[in-house]
Homo-oligomer: A and B are copies of this chain.
Amino acid sequence: MKKKAIINNSPACQTKMQAIRDAMSVLSGKWKFHILGTLIKGSKLGFMDLMREVDGIGSKMLSKELQDLEMNHLISRTVMNTKPVTVEYSITEYGKTLSPLIDALANWGIEYRQSVHGKEASGFCRS
């Protein structure tokens, strides 16, 4: 056997790598998970509600991320005909698919913070 035993370039593996790329293309960005997480636990939120819940986000980024998520059918946007226009955002059935993933992420984050043992857990940085 001359073959250098490339670890694993089986179709299944290639597919998995591709899958990660696909998921990342939809979920990348600083706020996607926060927004989705917020909408998953509390449906029917307005723009301002989200601004309050997703701590630190600005209106521009929120607007942008919401558009991305809507384009990928993870959330739905409904304009209400109220006095000053109001909009309701909610998670779609398809968006709920991400619930386990987000929970897993959050749970890992919790354990991570504990593993760093109280110290600031904002991740170590180069230099």
Determine if A109 and B71 form an interchain contact, defined as CB atoms under 8 angstroms apart.
no
Contact with B along A107-119 (1 / 0, CB 8 A): 1111111010000
Q: How far is the CA of A68 from the CA of B125 in the complex (A)?
A: 7
Which of chain A's residues 73-127 have a Cβ closer than 8 Å to chain B? 94, 97-98, 100-102, 104-113, 115, 121-126
Copy number in this complex?
2
Determine if B8 and A113 form an interchain contact, defined as CB atoms under 8 angstroms apart.
no
A1 CB contacts on chain B under 8 angstroms: none
| Interface band, chain A | 35 or more
Q: How far is the CA of A15 from the CA of B18 in the complex (A)?
A: 32
The minimal Cβ–Cβ distance linking A76 to chain B, given in whole angstroms, is: 15
- Chain A binding surface SS class: helix
Q: How far is the CA of A25 from the CA of B110 in the complex (A)?
A: 13
Inter-chain pairs besides A16-B37, A19-B109, A22-B109, 12 sampled, C-beta below 8 Å: A7-B38, A17-B37, A19-B112, A20-B102, A20-B106, A21-B34, A21-B109, A23-B106, A25-B121, A68-B124, A97-B108, A101-B101
A contact residues vs B (CB 8 Å cutoff): 6-9, 13, 15-26, 28, 30, 33-34, 37-38, 41-42, 45, 49, 52-55, 64, 67-68, 71-72, 94, 97-98, 100-102, 104-113, 115, 121-126
